[in-house]
Structure 1
Amino acid sequence: MTHSDITTSTTTTPGTVLVLGGTGKTGRRVVALLRERGVEVRAASRSGDTPFDWGDPATWGPALSGVSAVYVVGPEGSPSPTPGFVELAVATGVRRLVLLSARGTGTPGYLTDAVGAPHRESEAAVRSSGVVWTILRPGWFAQNFSEGVFLDGVRAGELSLPTGDGSAAFVDADDIAAVAVAALVEDGHDGEVYELSGPRALSVAEMLDEIAKAAGVRAAYVPVTPSAYRAGLEAQGVPAEEAAVWTEAMDPILTSREAPLTDGVRRALGRPPRDMADFARDAAAAGAWA
């Protein structure tokens, strides 16, 4: 380890931390890690302990009452409600914001407007908030294979996606949560934009190989065209607009724009990101593909 790999952040003592999306992929991990540190946490979601609905601003104020820091996971769709929420949060005394954004948000043409616009609006709101802020830009989550949109295909033994031979440096949600917690409870992350990736780029077929080695579950990757994928989603009852967004979101994998490795995990935590072999081993042990 070189000197530049060593974090110099010092732990601060936050008050109550509000975690939006507290039952989601990253949110529930952030909640768990904060509680391990003895931090008072308020897990907010439509179905969580603290009621919170992006579509119902009347739920925002009660969730923010007495909160000093917020992990912000905004909704899809533009215009984003995040700017209004950030304004209210600062007005009620929040002094620290950690935003979950997305890889490519700062790169013109990386994301389509439908995908990128709400992230850009959210980032602008956090940057101009006047309080301590940190932005996380993770790429595609490894957990999409174990608890997300790809899980059913893996379990069924066939995963059809419009990603061709493209690859992505899939990032473990455990790493995203660890970076978020560091930014929420430590000094030294103010104004940082952490681009988060895993330590190596893999195609979807190679990810399925890692899962097969760890879990003994072999799923075949079946490449399909974007139009066929979109039509398949619509045939399953997915609304046309949502099917289009999902299809467009696959393009950075298809074109390998998600492949380059980034240093956000190391800069924030002083260690390399978790490898996909470790992700697959732990997910298999937890029964993800049983």
Structure 2
Amino acid sequence: MTQTDTTSAQEPVLVIGGTGKTGRRVVARLRERGVETRAASRSGDTLFDWADPTTWAAALDGVATVYITPLDTTPSPTPAFVEQAVAGGVRRLVLLSARGTDVPGFFGPGYEDGGPHGEGERAVRASGVAWTILRPGWFAQNFSEGVFLDAVRAGELALPTGDGKAAFVDADDIAEVAVAALTEDGHAGQEYGLSGPRALGMDEVLDEIAKETGKRAAYVRVDTDAFRAGLVAQGFDDVEAGLWTDALHPITTSAEAPVLDGVRRALGREPRDFAAFVRDAAARGAWG
């Protein structure tokens, strides 16, 4: 790795999804480095709405570097955004994609050709500018500030993941890799698969949380059809319920279990362990 690319650092960095899980962490780290940063979202300091392309031009004005947190819909708006960004003078793109996007069948039939993430990856590769692709697996933060939090707090986590395991990745590691790719040389053309340092099943995850909180949520194994029906009952449409169920498939099959080397390659250190994530989240009162 090299030192900060000062040429890029003198121009604003646009962070799409600047108030989200990885985006707000990227924004904080860039600003700590003294990099002028635009936190772009529907609620950020820079207005940006994937569904409203008229908001894109102002967000991109004067920007040379962009971190893209894509919208997970088909067709993806990422290719159109990339085209507009490059036409406006952007010279570096860092795309948040997903583990398994390049693996046929990884997410099941709902994500043919990598789904919307695959569309985004193909767009940045064909952009003609420097690009880096981040492919993280399931976030550790899904248990502390995401989709699993309410269930863990309520004492029962019901999922169709069986005895499958995943090497959950800390969102702080994702952000650090993103910042390196946004501000340093040596990351252009790189695809970083990002994971934690060990694989855990859901029972092991809940054990780790219980060690810090003193309260152990139960892991309830449900079948796929029952899980999908539960999502529909909560208001998801059939397509959304199917995609969400498919997204869990790599945990069920333990396709998310192998440890990846992206954090080590990008940062020169090992990824953060799940136990360290739990200690910090518990200290902040994530589980009450």
What TM-score does the superposition give when structure 2 sets the normalisation length? 0.96
Q: Does 1:59 align with 2:52?
A: no
CA contact 1:78–1:114 (8 Å) conserved in 2: no
Q: What letter matches 1:9 in structure 2?
A: T
CA contact 1:20–1:71 (8 Å) conserved in 2: yes
Q: 1:102-251 maps to which residues of 2 (within 5 A)?
A: 102-115=98-111, 116-251=114-249
Post-superposition Cα deviations, 1:85-142, rounded to whole Å, max 9, x if no partner, equal 0011011111110000000011111123534311111001100111111000000000
Q: What letter matches 2:26 in structure 1?
A: V
1:12 corresponds in structure 2 to: 5
1:90 corresponds in structure 2 to: 86
CA contact 1:136–1:196 (8 Å) conserved in 2: yes
Q: Unmatched 5+ residue regions in structure 1? A: 1-7
Q: 1:268-279 maps to which residues of 2 (within 5 A)?
A: 268-279=266-277
Percent identity over the alignment is 71
Secondary structure of 2:64's counterpart equals: strand
Give me the whole-angstrom Cα distance separating, in 2, the residues matched to 1:262 and 1:76: 23
1:77 corresponds in structure 2 to: 73
Q: Unmatched 5+ residue regions in structure 2? A: none
What TM-score does the superposition give when structure 1 sets the normalisation length? 0.96
CA contact 1:215–1:281 (8 Å) conserved in 2: no
Give me the whole-angstrom Cα distance separating, in 1, the residues matched to 2:160 and 2:97: 23
Post-superposition Cα deviations, 1:227-286, rounded to whole Å, max 9, x if no partner, equal 111111111222222111111111100000000011000000000000000000000011
Runs (4 or more) in structure 1 with deviation over 2 Å come to 111-116
1:100 corresponds in structure 2 to: 96
Secondary structure of 1:250's counterpart equals: helix
Equivalenced residue count is 283
Give me the whole-angstrom Cα distance separating, in 1, the residues matched to 2:284 and 2:16: 25
Offset at residue 78 of structure 1 (A): 1.5
Give me the whole-angstrom Cα distance separating, in 2, the residues matched to 1:113 and 1:135: 23
The 10-residue stretch of structure 1 (234-243 or 254-263) with the greater mean CA deviation from structure 2: 234-243
Give me the whole-angstrom Cα distance separating, in 2, the residues matched to 1:111 and 1:229: 16
CA contact 1:155–1:219 (8 Å) conserved in 2: yes
Q: Does 1:37 align with 2:37?
A: no
Secondary structure of 2:40's counterpart equals: strand
Give me the whole-angstrom Cα distance separating, in 2, the residues matched to 1:9 and 1:230: 47
Give me the whole-angstrom Cα distance separating, in 2, the residues matched to 1:30 and 1:112: 30
Q: What letter matches 1:152 in structure 2?
A: D
CA contact 1:215–1:280 (8 Å) conserved in 2: no
Offset at residue 42 of structure 1 (A): 0.2
